[in-house]
Amino acid sequence: MKLRLINPNSTDAMTQQIARSARAVAHPGSSISALTLSGTPVSIEGYHDEAVCVPPLLEAIRAGEAEGMDAHVIACFDDVGLAAAREVAGGPVLGLCQASVQVAMMISKRFSVVTSLDRSVPIIEDLVEDYGAGRACRRVRAVDLPVLAFEADAALSRARLKEEVTRARDQDKVDAVVLGCAGMSDFCRALEESLQIRVIDGVQAAVKLAEALVGGGFRTAKTGAYAYPRLKSADMAPARVSESG
């Protein structure tokens, strides 16, 4: 099967890291390709950055469908444009937050999320609630590092992540911790081994769920909210409102 990972930001080094993490767990029969969007922010940290990424993201998914991709993974923990992406795609489209939350709920009773900046906390809290995991998620924590720091300073990132995952384990009394940023993917296995707690990386969770959906023939439903966007001619557009001073 052919899976495409799309990094909504424009940092190619992060795309390469995401691809490594995906290929480490992918089935030998899966072909993994990874795409970096251009003209988007170098990192996604807030609602504005998300909004800027959506139009090129949708075009990339349309192009992937035309190339015969079986599924797409939006490789950002904010699940940027996920609902809109499912409208334009016939095959499954997965987001990192939803995928990792679903995995966490299947392998643990309670979990916490560790993300990058404090400003990301309410975004992730809302997503977790939307996905029906509000009761299972004890807390969304932040290590107070920008997204690009995980690539630029691996030692500091590793130390901050270890501290916060330890707090989640000991203070939140959880069975698992979800890493709430695609840029944290490289640190997942080492954290799990050193801290003796299940640590879930969204990239790998999304890839394995994508393989399962494709393998089971589960395509995106097209009879309701995720139906293909309606084609609209110019004469159907609402009249423009002009202002005069």
Please report which confidence band the pLDDT of residue 231 belongs to, taking 50, 70 and 90 as the band edges.
confident
Torsion of CA 184, 190, 191, 195, to 10 degrees: 180
Are 140 and 112 within one domain? Answer: yes
- The verdict on residue 238 lying in a domain is no
Cα separation, 200 vs 38, whole angstroms: 28
Q: What is the phi-psi region of residue 192: left when phi exceeds 0, alpha when psi lies from -120 to 50, beta otherwise?
A: alpha
- Domain with residue 184: its CATH number is 3.40.50.12500
- The verdict on residue 231 lying in a domain is no
Are 75 and 117 within one domain? Answer: no
DSSP 80-108: TTHHHHHHH-SS-EEEHHHHHHHHHHHH-
Are 9 and 77 within one domain? Answer: yes
Cα separation, 58 vs 50, whole angstroms: 12
Cα separation, 6 vs 26, whole angstroms: 16
- The verdict on residue 158 lying in a domain is yes
- The verdict on residue 11 lying in a domain is yes
Please report which confidence band the pLDDT of residue 238 belongs to, taking 50, 70 and 90 as the band edges.
low
Helix (H) or strand (E) run with residue 63 in it: helix 47-67
Are 90 and 51 within one domain? Answer: yes
- The verdict on residue 74 lying in a domain is yes
Are 48 and 125 within one domain? Answer: no
Are 210 and 195 within one domain? Answer: no
Domain count, the chain: 2
The mean per-residue pLDDT over the stretch 17-38 comes to 96
Are 109 and 49 within one domain? Answer: no
- The verdict on residue 88 lying in a domain is yes
Are 109 and 177 within one domain? Answer: yes
Share of the chain above pLDDT 90, in %: 93
SS3 131: coil
Are 29 and 59 within one domain? Answer: yes
SS3 7: strand
- The verdict on residue 239 lying in a domain is no
Give tens-digit pLDDT for 144-174: 999 999 988 999 999 999 999 999 999 999 9
- The verdict on residue 182 lying in a domain is yes
pLDDT at 241 over 60: no
Give tens-digit pLDDT for 98-129: 999 999 999 999 999 999 999 999 999 999 99
Are 130 and 197 within one domain? Answer: yes
Are 58 and 102 within one domain? Answer: no
Are 59 and 131 within one domain? Answer: no
What residue numbers bound the domain in which 195 lies? 97-202
Q: What is the overall mean pLDDT for the chain?
A: 94
Per-residue exposure over 143-166, b if at least 16 CB sit within 10 Å of its own CB, e if not: bebebbbbbeeeeebbebbbebbe
